[in-house]
Structure 1
């Protein structure tokens, strides 16, 4: 029954993931949008740790070497509800957005290896920004920036033990998507407005390698270490750009007039080299505390976003996460809440994005991000599957230098469904 359910869910949810809008952030204006580091709800609830963690019933999107520990077929699907408040120096705006985060399947291959496959969004563009130039109470000029779209990732990930405690893994992914950006300019007492449209198709591959090692420190404590390396990827960015004049009808509809140019774009977008290293201490089925350190190089967009390079640029990025979980009594019969997994963690991130808030200034401001996370894994009745809930409060950006600060609250929900019968033939007595 569960196989049929997952087959139908994969078809329906895959289409939704590809078509959805995942971001309401003004910072999705830059590059290929608001990028998502692939993580499960369980990992996000612990601040984003997981490069060293070994689990036999949960998927691990951070380190492909963790697939070696899969012992039962595991299906995972997740969604997120975000509440965002945007603050400027003298204005505040709030909104929310619901999105599906991933659908994935993992299963063991023999006793020392495992494979997982899945679909998840990688970045999202979803902004609408208005900039006005005033002379007293009179609006002299209006610029409206808007964008939609994003990229998605299909991946296959394999992990295997080389010897006891030590596993290696490899992951191959294909990134694809569409991004549309536009800038509308209108000047007071000028009959025609001007609009610039850009439409891009993003395509390319991505590869990741990982290792994990687990050893006993004492009879009750294990040491976990791990590392993952995502190679730099040059994604093709092909499409078109158009500059034209227009007027507005009485109902507000755009009516194009003269066209300055309509030409093709053939460029590339670089996703930089990314490394994640970490370690953890824990007792199986009882508690775990881990630390992740992540570094990535500079992103770039050749012949794609060059007209905006004076407004922003990229530097090296880094992220630090610490978190863990606690299970009071994993096999408790008397108390359901003793079988619940309780998770918590924090993360601090320098995104590598530098933005110039004032076009007349030469100063760029670094955009930082941090989040505080808690979560629970609720066992489902008469199953080894769980319903995972995660909550995150975070802040990104600043109101300094005419920029925008985001306060956000994320609610994450996932199902981790386990089926021990996946590869066993049915028997009729």
Structure 2
């Protein structure tokens, strides 16, 4: 059953943001959906590094302490387009999705502090499966929705080269899952439907340290920790019989049960550590190591009869950037920021197949460009990622994906300046 579910969990056409279904991955079937890592396009293009990275003109969602380095008002918006190919031992299918990754604003507070606020997706569910292998017992699985995060992040220098930060966030959203069953020689179909409303808060703390070395080299170190939080899940679960009109519309009949669903999903502690070295506005190379405990729940949302479970997860990232000559007036391409990176991830998701649990791993190679705009300090950032997730072992599905990411980082040095002449 797990194999057939994974094969069918594709959205039939390009998913639009307005429909609030921004995942085409079969792995959005599990838990509260496909998780979105809180990174800008700039950081994602370097393999996801950034916990130690200091930047005066770009936002940093990985470490709130990085807000202390903001020197101008910065507006950021980012999105991505994902192309998927799913493979098992016999066949393959394709799909794609688009999504808005973040809208955010950051600005300095004095010369030693900064604040940013924004909206980001937290997880997404989007799948549709028709299981008709047994003609006498047909099942249609559907799921949609997801969760979002509104956040506020503050960072400040507490002494020379050392900054601290804090982020508070509110997570909210809705997830709908349903199973429609139709048996041969039975007049009415049966539908089981679950609708959940998810709410909860989240706190993150971070720190960064920079040390000036010889020859204008700078050594950076950083760490962040996101505290465990319980997301409240409230909604209802119902099962009812139904028939279909001549136009294919569902006509509800007898309600077998309709009851409330309450529970909690515990998002575990996540810690990120890293360091890097480089020259400001010239080059940088860094590494990140991320650890997270296993997700747990007492909600029926992610129990699902033991077809999957969660374990501890970890991720390693390596990447950096290079700028040939940031103030060049003879060559535009010398002012471009060239980024690259790689990441390896154990997602912590274990899927049951053939009475065995298989660990789902993820791998990605990234490159990107930061293209300066005529407007001072602003730029367009483009990133590309090729990755693989899952495996064809034990009758499971391997997902090959190609992400195209795009963001605008718009800076203004005038926004918070006082007028000299009224």
TM-score normalised to the size of structure 2?
0.93
Cα distance change of structure 1 residues 309 and 222 upon mapping to structure 2, 3 Å threshold: farther
| Alignment match, 2:125 | 125
| Alignment match, 1:337 | 333
| Alignment match, 1:365 | 358
Between 91-100 and 271-280, report the one with greater CA deviation.
Answer: 91-100
Give the alignment partner of residue 388 of structure 2, picking from 378, 381, 395: 395
- Residues 42-57 of structure 1: matches in 2 within 5 Å? 42-57=42-57
Compute the displacement of 1:340 (Å): 0.2
| Alignment match, 2:313 | 317
Compute the displacement of 1:187 (Å): 2.4
- 2:32–2:302 contact (8 Å) kept in structure 1: no
CA–CA distance in structure 2, aligned partners of residues 126 and 165 of structure 1: 44
CA–CA distance in structure 1, aligned partners of residues 313 and 130 of structure 2: 28
Between 385-394 and 216-225, report the one with greater CA deviation.
Answer: 216-225
| Alignment match, 1:420 | 413
- Residues 20-419 of structure 1: matches in 2 within 5 Å? 20-134=20-134, 139-305=135-301, 308-357=304-353, 361-419=354-412
Is the partner of 2:68 in helix, strand or coil?
helix
Q: What per-residue deviation string (whole Å, max 9, x for no partner) do you get for residues 253-308 of structure 1? A: 22222221011111111111000000111111110001000010111221332650
| Alignment match, 2:13 | none
Compute the displacement of 1:362 (Å): 2.3
- 2:122–2:146 contact (8 Å) kept in structure 1: yes
Is the partner of 1:68 in helix, strand or coil?
helix
CA–CA distance in structure 2, aligned partners of residues 416 and 129 of structure 1: 39
Compute the displacement of 1:194 (Å): 1.7
Cα distance change of structure 1 residues 339 and 19 upon mapping to structure 2, 3 Å threshold: same
Cα distance change of structure 1 residues 18 and 201 upon mapping to structure 2, 3 Å threshold: farther
- 1:269–1:304 contact (8 Å) kept in structure 2: no
- 1:79–1:414 contact (8 Å) kept in structure 2: yes
Is the partner of 2:277 in helix, strand or coil?
strand
Compute the displacement of 1:98 (Å): 1.6
Cα distance change of structure 1 residues 221 and 237 upon mapping to structure 2, 3 Å threshold: same
- 1:117–1:157 contact (8 Å) kept in structure 2: yes
Cα distance change of structure 1 residues 164 and 332 upon mapping to structure 2, 3 Å threshold: same
Stretches of structure 1 lacking an aligned partner (at least 5 in a row): 1-15
- 1:294–1:319 contact (8 Å) kept in structure 2: yes
TM-score normalised to the size of structure 1?
0.92
Q: What per-residue deviation string (whole Å, max 9, x for no partner) do you get for residues 139-162 of structure 1? A: 232222110000000000000001
| Alignment match, 2:11 | none
Compute the displacement of 1:18 (Å): 7.8
CA–CA distance in structure 2, aligned partners of residues 17 and 102 of structure 1: 12
Compute the displacement of 1:378 (Å): 0.3
CA–CA distance in structure 1, aligned partners of residues 316 and 189 of structure 2: 46
Compute the displacement of 1:79 (Å): 1.1
| Alignment match, 2:7 | none
Compute the displacement of 1:189 (Å): 2.7
- Pairwise CA RMSD: 1.5
CA–CA distance in structure 2, aligned partners of residues 224 and 305 of structure 1: 41
- 1:270–1:301 contact (8 Å) kept in structure 2: yes
CA–CA distance in structure 1, aligned partners of residues 303 and 275 of structure 2: 42
CA–CA distance in structure 2, aligned partners of residues 265 and 254 of structure 1: 24
- Give the count of matched residue pairs: 407
